[in-house]
Amino acid sequence: MSTTLQTQTEARTMNGAEIVLQALKENGVEVIFGYPGGAVLPLYDAIFQQNAIRHILVRHEQAAVHAAEGYARSTGKVGCVLVTSGPGATNAVTGLVDALLDSVPVVCLTGQVPTHLIGNDAFQEADTTGITRPATKHNYLVKDITKLAATVHEAFYVARTGRPGPVVIDLPKDILIGKGTYHEAPQAPHRSYRPQTEPEAGAIRAAVALLKAAKRPILYAGGGVINAGPEASRLLTEFVRMTGMPCTNTLMGLGAYPASDPQFLGMLGMHGTYEANLAMHGCDVMLNIGARFDDRVTGRLNAFSPDSKKIHADIDPSSINKNVPVDVAIVGDAGRVLRALIEAWQEDGAAQDKTALAEWWRQIDAWRSKQCLHYVQQGSIIKPQHAVRRLYEMTRELGRDTYITTEVGQHQMWAAQYFGFEKPNRWMTSGGLGTMGYGLPSAMGVQIAHPDALVIDIAGEASILMNIQEMGTLAQYRLPVKIFILNNEYMGMVRQWQELLHGSRYSESYSAALPDFVKLAESFHAHGIRVTRAEDLDAGIREMLAHPGPVIADIAVAKDENCFPMIPSGAAHNEMILGAGQSGGVAGVTDEGKVLV
């Protein structure tokens, strides 16, 4: 450890790079995901001279941000990234937008040319703050070393406070090598950025009054509940069981409510369950906690839950009434909102209409009897649904703490549908941006944070290739991540849309030159497995789970399988398409949930 960091309480003068590291340490950073370059070499030199903060060398800057996202989402901490100027910073932009849309707290340190060269088109110069302004919650360009420590402290405060998100700090090289004085993080509240976390009592009472009078209520929980911490998920479960109402989750909210609970309707939205979508369409009071009424959830806005009173609780006031007008707005932290709702529910003297609620559950059970996720595994060709379900069942048998990441595509939706999540922070996927290549680096970050846990990236053969170079990172740090590829030799979701919406014209959706994934795994010092027959699936999964190091399991699945249920783009919740094998083929549903063949 450097003398400067060891004796920082005695000697407060240090160079800019040491100031940055000391500020990171004070903000609880234990791991940085990064890739070096000329503009940030002073920081890398400072990292070399200390042992308090670990650095993980990725193979691409986009992967550094995704790894920090996986670390952050599985721990509740702020992820930290370090990249160089110019292409280093621009390569990170996709990850930053991904973190912005999914509300993930990340601080990204970017190198910059010396201040006197900014604007001169110097080597590896880019307008990083300009480029990342729409890609971040906030960003900074540090031009004065006296403000360096305060800027880092503020960046972490902004990233983790209110609705979490990514923050960029652009660091010119002369600031990193210059001398300055270190200042500890201020104890007083931030002067201008103080998000409201405690809900207003009047809004809580109004929400409870609506819910108690409801005949067909539903609670719809999103990623904001998970961002609020494990206690928020516990309170969500308590409130749902107390009220007797049904609960559904968004893609980002999976795990906020136990999947095995009888009051859970499954995921809602474009590939959500029949019962969740029909209940959302037919409810008379909807409580949304920590979700933003994303278009993949709402479908056609003018037909979204048309006869319901809507209550929206969110820590970000700009999200309320943004996409869907609501009747009761509650601004606050999801955990505090839920605690307030529980207390108000207990204090409110009004009685629920238990008869109407029982009738509502009878209707929901009728929709459930449709068994919209039912599939039939026959013969040797592996159904992708079956592959995911067996993976889920076999990991449960192991009893290990299991974390799932995904790439983006059909496999992502099958994972959401068939892998049950009982706890929060165990599901990492790219929701808002839909970033192919997210899963592998995210899994790296999760494995770094939880070295003894089982971490599995459920992938597609097209998406995994987007950041396949990170197999090198797995090898270097001996990270035992398991990659479970559902290989249908297509960009599956693209092919599905082309089949359903574009007359089966499969334009550029076929992967005609795939690698041998077993040999690819071996070339990266990992273990490779290929399974082509259903009767060998369990043995392949067992081998993957038993191997102590990283594994690529290439599972050959049915090439033409589509992901259902599905709400077509621009359709309403009651206009779902159901899959083959249900009522004789592809079907839609009416307001009453009756099948239209």
- Return the axis-axis angle of helices 61-75 and 439-449, rounded to nearest 10°: 50
**Per the residue annotation, which of 286, 466, 493, 566 is the catalytic one?**
493
Inter-residue contact 416 to 39 (CB < 8 Å): no
Scanning the structure block, which residue is given the tokens 């937008």? Answer: 97
Beta strands (DSSP E) in 118-165 are: 138-141
**Per the residue annotation, which of 137, 173, 309, 383 is the catalytic one?**
173
List the one residue out of 153, 99, 84, 66 whose CA is nearest residue 457.
Answer: 66
Strand-strand pairing, 247-249 and 179-181 = unpaired
The 3 state secondary structure assigned to 421-480 is CCCCCCEECCCCCCCCCCHHHHHHHHHHHCCCCEEEEEEECCHHHHHHHHHHHHHHHCCC
124 catalytic? Reply is yes
48 catalytic? Reply is no
Q: Which amino acid belongs to residue 186?
A: P
By CB atoms closer than 10 A (0-12, 13-18, 19+), residue 509 is middle
Q: Which amino acid belongs to residue 378?
A: Q
- Buried-state track 492-507, b at ≥16 Cβ within 10 A, e below 16: bbbbbbbeeeeeeeee
**Per the residue annotation, which of 61, 69, 154, 470 is the catalytic one?**
61
Binning the chain into helix, strand and coil, the percentages to the nearest 5 are 40, 20, 40
173 catalytic? Reply is yes
The count of other CB atoms within 10 Å of the CB of residue 213 is 16
143 catalytic? Reply is no
**Per the residue annotation, which of 1, 123, 559, 592 is the catalytic one?**
123
61 catalytic? Reply is yes
Residue 582 Cα distances to 373, 386, 561, 585, angstroms: 10, 17, 14, 6
Beta bridge partners of 167: 107, 138
For residue 565, cis peptide bond before it (omega within 30 degrees of 0): yes
Q: How far apart are CA 122 and CA 173, in angstroms?
A: 13
Strand-strand pairing, 13-15 and 179-181 = antiparallel
User: Which residues form the catalytic set?
Assistant: 61, 123-124, 173, 493
